[in-house]
Amino acid sequence: MSDSQTVSTAVAKLYDTYPFPPEPLLDEPPPGYNWRWNWLAAYNFCTGQKPQKQDIRILDAGCGTGVGTEYLVHLNPHASVVGIDLSAGALQVARERCKRSKANRVEFHHLNLYDIEQLPGEFDFINCVGVLHHLDDPIRGIQALAKKLAPGGLMHIFVYGELGRWEIQLMQKAIALLQGDKQGDYRDGVQLGRKIFSALPENNRIVKRERERWSWENQRDECFADMYVHPQEIDYNIDTLFELIDASGLEFIGFSNPGFWQLERLLGKAPELIERAVGLSDRQRYRLIELLDPEVTHYEFFLGRPPITKADWSADDALIAAIPERNPCIDGFPSQCVFNYDYQIVNLSEAELKFLQACEGKKTVAEIFRDDVQLELKQVRSLLKQQLIILTPS
């Protein structure tokens, strides 16, 4: 058996033992939304406009128990969805999950990510969350995914960051040392890990980090096992992350949490330091940010296969001729206080609320203005910047 097959077998055994994620199965669509799994919202985030088609093909690569897959089906009512995973046990849960919530536009395949060339056709949207860092060869994995991404398509990826997971790495190694020849017995690993945490002093750094950040979710053995006794994990920093991205041959579109990657957030009180950073490349600036704020537990970002056309709404005539509709990932509407796509509170003026109520994807901005909505173009741009509206060129 090759090293790659050995790793795949060990990972499959972990998730057969502890199917992950362990979210409960519901007899209704899952609550809320994750905009990264909504094609309209994600495409708008990446390009600044509405996609030309919604009857797309979506691949959930490494779907586990189908938590993300279920959302992908329900949040994209015109899409067909394919989920793959190497754990038969996790796939069994995924099938039952989607059956119960009537997520019926999905098919599942028991398949290693390396072997996705066996799937027919290309995909417009590929979701790969928490998977690449568990491969023995993530570059081979991302290249396999890239080959299945259609021109103009998007890929959403989530991988671990080494700086914010430092204490996790230490505990992983400690458990492995104490397990000895019992490594691979994941139930023993979980029991051993819990005993270690119970025995360590309360002011121990690893204990404090677990209590502050992870303990609530790690009450469940599935989560504890995924975090502390996983047989394969590669954590990234900005430098190694972009080695992975470059190897894909795809375009880096951006992080899904752009606010974190603004240097002003950290050094805004010292403009002279911001000035010193002007000559840095984007990647150097990202590296500086994570060095100064090493809480990075993961990176979540979008890649695309050209041609990716990004809209420019800086010209007034283009903006006023555009057709706006509300972002589908808004909670609390219609109200002057809503949650935006990222679950942040936004307080709207009466005029902004009236404008949003008129954004049904049928009238242009100019036509909405003619219907006695008193709003300035700069306010429309503010709604656009906050991604409360999605525009289509007329």
HEC profile for 8-58?
Answer: HHHHHHHHHHCCCCCCCCCCCCCCCCCHHHCHHHHHHHHHCCCCCCCCCEE
Q: What does DSSP assign to residue 332? A: S
Query: What is the per-residue pLDDT across 164-223, written as a single tens digit (0 to 9) for each?
Result: 999 999 999 999 999 999 999 999 999 999 999 999 999 999 999 999 999 999 999 999
Report the chain's C-alpha Rg in angstroms.
23
**pLDDT value at residue 267:** 98
140-157 pLDDT, tens digit each: 999 999 999 999 999 999
Q: For residue 115, what are the CA distances in angstroms to 107, 112, 145, 164, 179?
A: 16, 5, 10, 31, 32
CA distances from 34 to 2, 30, 102 (A): 38, 10, 19
Q: What is the residue extent of each domain of the chain?
A: 3-162+235-304, 163-228, 316-392
For residue 129, give the nearest of 190, 78, 59 by alpha carbon: 59
35 token code pair: 């905009």
Is a pLDDT exceeding 90 seen at residue 372?
Answer: no
pLDDT, tens digit (0-9, with 9 covering 90-100), for 238-292: 999 999 999 999 999 999 999 999 999 999 999 999 999 999 999 999 999 999 9
Beta bridge partners of 157: 128, 301
Q: Is 128 helix (H, G, I), strand (E, B) or coil?
A: strand
Q: What is the pTM of this model?
A: 0.97
* The CATH homologous superfamily of the domain defined by 3-162+235-304: Vaccinia Virus protein VP39 (3.40.50.150)
Q: Are β-strands 149-160 and 323-326 bridged in parallel, bridged antiparallel, or unpaired?
A: unpaired
Q: What is the pLDDT of residue 182?
A: 98
Length of the chain: 394
pLDDT in the model for residue 42: 98
Residue 45 has pLDDT above 90, yes or no: yes
Q: Given a cut of 80, is residue 386 above it in pLDDT? A: yes
> pLDDT over 90 for what percent of the chain?
98
Angle between helices 3-17 and 186-199 (to 10 degrees): 70
pLDDT at 1 over 80: no
Residue 394's pLDDT is 86
**pLDDT of the residue at 283:** 98
Task: Tell me the helix, strand and coil percentages in the chain, rounded to 5.
Answer: 50, 15, 35
Q: What pLDDT, in 10s, does the model give residues 75-110?
A: 999 999 999 999 999 999 999 999 999 999 999 999
Q: Are 98 and 70 in contact (CB under 8 A)?
A: yes
Q: What average pLDDT does the chain have? A: 97
- Say what percent of the chain tops pLDDT 70: 100
Residue 368 has pLDDT above 90, yes or no: yes
313 three-state secondary structure = coil
SS3 call for 260: helix
